[in-house]
Each structure stands twice: as structure tokens, then as C-alpha cells.
Amino acid sequence: MATLDHTLNWDALTDESVRHLQALLRIDTTAQEGPAVQYLCEQLAIEAGIEIRILEPGSGRPNLWARLRGNGKQRPLLLLSHLDVVPVERPYWSVDPFGGEIHDGYIYGRGAVDMKDMTAKQLTLLLHFARQAQATRKELDRDLVLLAVADEECMSEFGMAWIIKHAPELLEAEFALNEGGGYAFQCGSQRVYVCETAQKGSAQVTLRAVGKPGHGAFPHSENAVAHLARAIYRLSAASLPLHVTPTVQRFVDKLALNQPRSKQLLFRQTLHPLSSGMALNMLSEDEITHVLRAVLHNTVSPTLLRGGDTLNVIPSEAFAHLDGRIVPGQTARSFLREIQQRIADPNVEVDVDLNSSGYECPSDTSMFAALEAAIAQHDPGAIVAPYMFPAVSDSRFLAPLGIIPYGFDPMMSEPGCPLPQQLAHNHDERISFANMGFGLRVLHDTILQLSR
Ligand SMILES: [Zn+2]
């Protein structure tokens, strides 16, 4: 293990990252990233030795790419974040969502944990390593590439999808660090940090129920809306079949570590078709069972419904759109078959339109080991577990290129403060000073261990 430098002025570095975070939070980047890209450019231009490029898809939604060159002994590390944020419902916020306000040790604002905090930490560290390189005349063993992209919260059309198409050479890297994990939760007496090494795929599932039209005053058994309702009920009443992937197997193995024997058994039973449902019901950790239910199965969530348009007319068709999520290794076809078998109604047609395939990356890498070492250093006794994210992020674009993207935005759990994934997209999104400092140290040590 490399010798890590703990003589740095961490208070000053943390203040610097908080200053960047406040500045970014004060820019409303709901579908408009230009001013935030401008801010990053101005900050990066202060230090010598950083190449900067603005990647502009011609949509007014630019992306920012910057590189601090290393000596090239190892392939680059990509520090990835997105600058856009989801809209806010202002009446529900207790502070200005674009004010970057600080109260009781927390920095508030839309994007505080999703994910301007990460942009601010990555920016601070790139500047820090540039200063170090100047001062010591020693380069890191790999390039550090900062990529702050647009349009992640929608379809990534002007962000990562555009970059992949128009400037893929800028993405050359061995590893990437992005959102998707890094937070801690308590499993019995064990603190576990999740490192996102895998993602499920996503699909739009459409159900079209057909039936006999007629007058609403004369009910009959071939009502399309009733067929649709029964189909949705059957899909919602129980999980689809179990699919255990290597990532989830390792996740469960880690969760079972240091647990009482009875709990170890329950965790193992979650992986077997006959006992999985019962074991998930018996485990007391809501947070974990919620995740396990999502990652052990293909899932569907009904979100949009369409039936008739007049109260007294039974329509001949009714539609439902469901948010479908597919375990890596499963296909649109196998997913379709599972849904059809569960619905078992010839009056309901099913269509699966795949948006993205899932992926799994290895966790026996130098990057994973560096994250484990950094967590051991800064939160002794805690462990890191590989984790499958049930939703998607821009990491899905990197895995097919042979880059190993890990979702790891390091955050300690804080009593009284909801987990970051509960604060993301929510009212009063916030991050503590303490967690900005913690994340900065963990990322710093990880980068350093990987790069010298
Ligand atoms: Zn995000």
C-alpha cells in the first residue's frame, strides 16, 4: 500500500470544496448546465497544467472535460459527475433550493447529494493534485480526467450519449468514479459502505388489454379495463422469479459477515428460490430487504394508465405502461416471457422495449482494494460491499467500453439525517460539512493509492 499523506491541511481543503459546492448550488442547472461549466472552467484555469475542453453538442447544454496529465505508467482514472439537477417543488423547501445556504452544519440545495457534492470534491482534488505536481515536480502514475456532464437526469442525449458518439477518445480510462453508491448503512452491528459495481437494465413494458365494448350500465366479463386491472394485480402481488447474479451473491456474503448465526442463515436463504421470499420477510433491515427485492428479480412498477374517456362507455382497449428493470444476464425476451406467464391472460398483450442493458463489473480490482483501504482508514471497522444499483446512471455508458465504473460518493451515515439516496430528488436536499470532509479524504486516498 502506498504511504498516504495525512499532513495536508484538511480543513482548508474541505472549506475549498464547500465553497465550490455552494457556488454550484447557486446555479440553477435544471436542464441548463452552461453557467456551471463556465464556473468549473474558471476554477480549473487557475492552476497550471490542466487541459480544459468544453464539449458542446450545439444544444446550449455543454459538458466539461479536463485532464491533469500523469506519467502514463497506468491508464487514466475518470472522475465523472453530472451537473444537471431535477426540478424542485419550491413550496416544500424550508430554504432557497438554489441559495447554497448553510444551516446547522449542512449545505442545502438541489443537487447537494445528486451530485454537485461529488463535482465539488472532484474539482477540489484535481486542483489539489495539480498544485502538488507543481510543488513536488512529480506526476501521478495516471492521468486524472474530470468529466462533468449535462443531461443525466433525462436521457443523457446531450451528455454522455453525445460524448460517446462524438469524442469517445476522451473517455479512455481504466476506472471511473461516479455516483450510485458510497453511502453507509448499518447491518446489525456492522457498518457497510456500498460500492456500486453493477447496474440493472431498464425497459418500458406496455400492456394492452382488449375486450368487448358496451354500455357502462350493462357490466360484462370481457371488460378491457378489468382485464388490465387483473394483469396489474398479478404482476404486483408477488415478485417475478429469482435471479442470483455474482454481484448480489457477493453483496449478500458481505452482509452476512459478522452477523449472528441465525441472521447469516437468513441472508443465505434470500438466494434460494424456495426460501427467498420468506427470508426477505423475516430480515429486520428494511433498507437492505428493499434493495435485495429489487436486485434479486426483474421488476415492474405500473406508473401510467390509460383506459376509456367517457364514464358510461366500456372501452375496447386499455393500456398500462410499467417501469421495467432487468437483472444483468436476462434479456428482453426472457423478461417478456416472465411477465406473460405471470399475467396468463390471452386478452392482454405485452410489449417490452429495452432502454439499456444492465452490466456487472468485477470487484477484485486495485480500485476496489483502494476504496476498502480508504474506508478502513477513515471509518475503522466498516466494510465495503459490492452492490448492484437497481436504477441507471451514466456509468452504463462506460462499462461497454471496457472501463470499470464504480459508484462511490463516500458518505458516513449520520444520526437524524436521511440516507443520501432518500435525500436525492427530495425536498431540503443537503449534505453536512463533516461528510464533505469525509468524502474528500476517502477520494483523495483512493486516488493516491491508485496512482503512485
Ligand atoms: Zn444523479
List helix spans (H) across 105-159.
Answer: 116-136
CA of 405 to the centre of ligand 1 (A): 14
CA of 115 to the centre of ligand 1 (A): 5
CA of 427 to the centre of ligand 1 (A): 15
pLDDT band at 5 (very low <50, low <70, confident <90, very high): low
- Give me the percent of the chain exceeding a pLDDT of 90: 92
pLDDT band at 1 (very low <50, low <70, confident <90, very high): very low
Q: What is the pLDDT of residues 109-122, one digit of tens each?
A: 999 999 999 999 99
Please give the angle made by the CA atoms of 112, 403 and 157, to the nearest 5 degrees: 55
Question: How far is Cα of residue 261 from the mean position of the Cα atoms in its chain?
Answer: 32
Q: What is the pLDDT of residues 353-363, one digit of tens each?
A: 999 999 999 99
Whose cell is 420477510? That residue is 281
* Cα dihedral sign, 253-255-259-265: negative
Residues 6+ apart with CB under 8 A from 143: 67, 68, 69, 70, 72, 76, 77
pLDDT at 208 > cutoff 70: yes
**How many H helices and E strands in the chain?**
14, 19
Of 404, 405, 423, 428, the C-alpha closest to 413 is 423
CA of 135 to the centre of ligand 1 (A): 35
Residues 6+ apart with CB under 8 A from 160: 149, 152, 394, 397
* Structural element, H or E, at residue 388: strand 383-389
Q: What is the pLDDT of residues 320-346, one digit of tens each?
A: 999 999 999 999 999 999 999 999 999
CA of 187 to the centre of ligand 1 (A): 25
pLDDT band at 6 (very low <50, low <70, confident <90, very high): low
pLDDT band at 421 (very low <50, low <70, confident <90, very high): confident
How many whole angstroms separate alpha carbon 302 and alpha carbon 300? Answer: 6
CA of 36 to the centre of ligand 1 (A): 16
Domains of the chain: 10-183+366-376+390-451 (3.40.630.10), 201-241+303-357 (3.30.70.360)
Task: Count Cβ atoms below 10 Å from residue 36 Cβ, excluding itself.
Answer: 26
387-397 b/e (C-beta count within 10 Å ≥ 16 → b): bbbbebbbbbb
CA of 81 to the centre of ligand 1 (A): 8
CA distances (Å), 243 to each of 25, 273, 312, in order? 40, 9, 44
CA distances (Å), 257 to each of 251, 316, 323, in order? 10, 55, 34
